[in-house]
A = this chain, B = another copy of it.
Amino acid sequence: MIRHNPEKNRVVAPPGDAKDRLLLAAGQEFAEKGYEAATVRDICLAAGVNVAAVNYYFGDKKRLYIESVKHAHRERVRQVPEPDWPAGTAAARKLHDFIGNMLERMLGFGQPPWQVRLMLREVLQPTEACRELVEDYFRPHFELLVSILGELTGDAVDAPRLRRIALSVIGQCFLYRAAGDVVGMLVPEDERHDLHSLGQLTDHIAAFTLAAVGAGPSLAPAASHRRGPPAEPAAS
């Protein structure tokens, strides 16, 4: 229905239908500036379409926003599939890979980061599009992490505590995505590169978590031998 003679397109016109270009440009603009600050004029300029196209295809700005979030979400799912291990893979290895995968998805090295930024906005201040995002995208990964942790602890830990441990893992990764700038200000200049290196970050968080659940060596080599009274467990 669309697709005129390609050599007669008036504008610079990136590839794709006007609707797709609109979704793409909207996602980038909304991710960069937020819903309020982004303007439909700028979005349409970037997409190479007329402002009326927003009203034509989506009705209004709000529905354009919701659709662009869903679109970015679907794209991200397609780009970064869940890891898949051969049967019999050690749980510790799975955890390490999972953390690396999650960090790569969050910090998004190699991929355009605007999709994650868009989702981050939904996480921090949920709108209508958030519930769908959680059910379709976050929950499967969360459940996978919980199952890995269950396997790791030999099913000796009950589900609520497993979920809390999973949230501890996610929190460690999430900090670098959400507060990366502040984290960068808190560490000395020369550590900054290592801190944001995917490999070293993965190793640290995996080691920290494995040690916490008793499936790996403690992070304090000298401290592990003074295992008498656990230094007063600090009851609440």
Contacts and interface: CB of A to CB of B under 8 A. Distances in A.
A220 B212 CA distance: 8
Given A153-B220, A214-B219, A175 B167 contact: yes
Nearest to A199: B236
Contacts of A226: 154
5 contacts: A134-B182, A164-B195, A168-B204, A212-B212, A217-B230
A221 B169 CA distance: 19
Interface stretch (A7-15, A65-73, A86-94): A86-94
A139 interface: yes
A128 interface: no
Contacts of A174: 171, 174-175, 178-179
A169 B134 CA distance: 25
